[in-house]
Amino acid sequence: MATMRAAVLTAPHRFELREVAVPEVGPDDALIRVQRTGICGTDIHMFNGHYAVDRLPLVPGHEFAG
């Protein structure tokens, strides 16, 4: 199984650097190697526990460059 490093939000105000499985891609999907990601307002709200608390753990960062 291939893995990658990811900063995982495990609880409000708590990140862990983890090895996670590389997602499998389907025939109509693309896998992008992310080099950098920005931090936006949504990420800050999730870090503070205002959003997505019921979906933890998660890998935030939807503004990225591959």
Q: What is the pLDDT of residue 9?
A: 95
What tens digit of pLDDT does each residue of 8-61 get?
A: 999 999 999 999 999 999 999 999 988 888 899 999 999 998 886 678 899 988
pTM for this one? 0.80
Q: What is the pLDDT of residue 23?
A: 92
Domains of the chain, residue spans:
3-65
Dihedral sign computed on CA atoms, order 43, 54, 58, 15: positive
